[in-house]
Structure 1
């Protein structure tokens, strides 16, 4: 499976009774056990009781098949990031992964979070975002949409002392929860000026959660639910997306470990 296929098959469109967003599969590998989740933003499933995702089955390209998975009781099963101001949550996908051998999916793991490599990047790098802007999807083939841009601030440096960075890309509703990748298929130059012709480079950088909108006070404003588009004369979109650092996903690993330790102590 090449890099583009991996990016394509790891995302799902999340549909709730209130909004549409993007999520992606992430499997936490802890002491020989696996814990599969769908990662998205807290606000995508906020105040929702259920959600649906459509996952492709392994089939011929000219005869695509897919299966609908319903997740109920979202409020009680999801893990919220332990920091209130980090807009990430993890939804258990163990039932979905029970039929993994039938499904045409891919996923990320902790090994895809390469913090030191990200810190060594240039300030400006080519990036891809994959997801469902405005809910757009190739329904027949169950395929997402790719968008291309560049980093607007360094992806390994805290922007305003928060574990976020900015990208130069138009962000629309429905893109919330989209993974962002650095992808150089044909070569790249590193921050020290070394050139690597013909060498591929691929890094998971983070998760989109907002559009940067300049108000009179210059706040960063979270995008609204896809069915609650807001218009205001004092707001100006400046085509900058706000991305949560990939390393913030490791918070869920600690939560899972703590839950497992708690269960062992009970026994």
Structure 2
């Protein structure tokens, strides 16, 4: 598989994360980003949700191997890498209500540079770095991850899904730095990057359409919305007991690009650095 299109690259930007706690385990999604610091150094990092990393005794990130001597993935050949599980090894957004965490990966990725096939997302793809980008109130979005922990069992690639924005990205839903997406969001999708990804044509202004491809990172999936209801155990029996069930509404909650950048800035600041002005990294 030659990675010669943006669509193909998106399948190698994410990481399947296993969280092994004292009494239980879970699976979530993370994605690799890179930013340029003020001193010119590159800062690779894992971006995910706080709850994906919380209470871990062991964190395992699953990568796809790189073919020896080639810049292509060795599909089906996985690589399990232990991540530092301590709370002090990653930085969360300073607002406890913002469910984003960032883990610096320079020391972790350096020995994997020739072994793992990773397509890091540059900070420049965040919509915060694209002041002239036109974003309408309803947009088609693409998110990539591991719903319910699923991935292609043969090739080990993640699952890509599409939906639309259910609330305008530029409006903070409920006063929080989030927007809603109309799409099938399940457990395991937490931490999935959310993109505007258009091929062929896209709307570039209120009355303008552009021919080409558009890609921008607009957010990160954090949770699915459910409604609680009471259903009878046996139908058509008035006196039958009822059970409480949670019904998924096909709506997901995503924190926006501004919240992602704020978390990255917080990580860099705590480390005593700053982002390069107009930071663009490749």
Matches within 5 A, 1:1-267: 1-17=4-20, 18-31=25-38, 32-59=40-67, 64-98=76-110, 99-115=112-128, 117=131, 120-197=134-211, 199-215=212-228, 233=244, 235-250=246-261, 251-260=263-272
Alpha-carbon RMSD = 2.3
Query: 1:66–1:142: 8 Å Cα contact kept in structure 2?
Result: yes
The 3 A distance-change label for structure 1 pair 21 and 261 is closer
How does the TM-score come out when normalised to structure 2? 0.80
* CA radius of gyration, larger in: 2
The answer on whether the counterparts of 2:102 and 2:267 sit within 8 Å (CA) in structure 1 is no
Count matched residues.
Answer: 246
Say whether the 8 Å CA contact 1:118–1:156 is kept in structure 2: no
What residue number does 2:236 align with? Answer: none
Q: Is the 8 A contact 2:182 2:252 kept in 1?
A: yes
Larger deviation, residues 81-90 vs 27-36: 27-36
Higher RCO by CA contacts (8 Å cutoff, separation 6 or greater):
2
Q: Per-residue deviation at 1:64?
A: 4.2
Q: Under a length normalisation based on structure 1, what TM-score does the superposition of the two structures give?
A: 0.84
Task: Flag structure 2 segments of 5+ consecutive residues without an equivalent.
Answer: 230-242, 275-282
Secondary structure, counterpart of 1:252 in structure 2 = helix
Offset from partner CA, 1:52-79 (integer Å, 9 cap, x none): 1121122276764332101133322111
Report which of the two has the higher share of strand: 2
Question: Deviating runs (4+, > 4 A) in structure 1?
Answer: 60-64, 116-119
Q: 1:187 and 1:160 mapped to 2: Cα distance?
A: 32
Q: Is the 8 A contact 1:13 1:22 kept in 2?
A: yes
Q: Which runs of 5+ in 1 are unaligned?
A: 217-231, 263-267
User: In 2 relative to 1, CA 161–61 (structure 1 residues): closer, same or farther, beyond 3 Å?
Assistant: closer
Cα deviation for residue 122 of structure 1 reads 1.1
